[in-house]
A and B are shown apart, each in its own frame.
Chain A
Amino acid sequence: DAKTTQPPSMDCAEGRAANLPCNHSTISGNEYVYWYRQIHSQGPQYIIHGLKNNETNEMASLIITEDRKSSTLILPHATLRDTAVYYCIVRGYNNAGNMLTFGGGTRLMVKP
């Protein structure tokens, strides 16, 4: 699976949009981009995933660049409860066992 690079930490004001970037320049054609988040002392929570089209659900939007080498997770109106570590993961079809490999993630701090 392709490696991802994320900033270690970010701050966001409550009520503003949080834009979390992820670089995956070695992504291949059959690899999906997944986003999870982990609130302190809890298990990671699935947020969204996509292949090449932009995706939106009730939690967030995922914007994938045309060359698929980077993506951005957007939380449109961040709340204090969105404070968490956000993980960007790339996973491919040939991944035996369908494993997810977590990197360091981005620690998002939403401030009042």
Chain B
Amino acid sequence: SQTIHQWPATLVQPVGSPLSLECTVEGTSNPNLYWYRQAAGRGLQLLFYSVGIGQISSEVPQNLSASRPQDRQFILSSKKLLLSDSGFYLCAWSGGWGYGYTFGSGTRLTVV
């Protein structure tokens, strides 16, 4: 069966520090991968998606970047965090059109 792993679960980082959040999927190949962010009390905002290795599409211009170095690995990064980067970050995968999404358990990032 397919599983999605996301870590860490919580993270407190100072302003200006770098960020690296990792997401991996098991039990499937060539998944579509997504990063979403949810600010406190707000809806989910799609940040990046990837349909294959090295293929990244950005939905919102921001302080963040994403990479997909391997088929089932999706990384969200920042060189210098801002206070506004705080939020709940969710990774998800999909088998393609017609398939639903499976979300990871999320990372709660607090930038202080």
- Chain A interface (Cβ within 8 Å of chain B)? 32, 34, 36, 38, 41-46, 49, 93, 95-105
Contact = CB atoms under 8 A, between A and B. Distances in A.
A10 B100 CA distance: 25
Interface string B16-27: 000000000000
B87 interface: no
Contacts of B98: 32
Contacts, number: 55
B106 A43 contact: yes
Interface of B: 32, 34, 36, 43-44, 46, 49-51, 57, 59, 88, 90, 92, 94, 96-106, 108
Contact of B51 (A46, A49, A93, A97): A97
A98 B106 contact: no
B101 A41 contact: no
B51 A44 contact: no
A60 B34 CA distance: 26
A98 B97 contact: yes
A33 B92 CA distance: 19
A41 B34 CA distance: 18
Contacts of B50: 97
B71 to A, nearest CB: 16
30 contacts: A32-B98, A34-B100, A38-B44, A41-B88, A41-B106, A42-B105, A43-B105, A43-B106, A44-B92, A44-B103, A46-B101, A46-B102, A49-B100, A93-B97, A95-B97, A96-B57, A97-B32, A97-B50, A98-B51, A98-B94, A98-B96, A98-B97, A98-B99, A99-B59, A100-B92, A100-B101, A101-B46, A102-B36, A102-B43, A104-B43
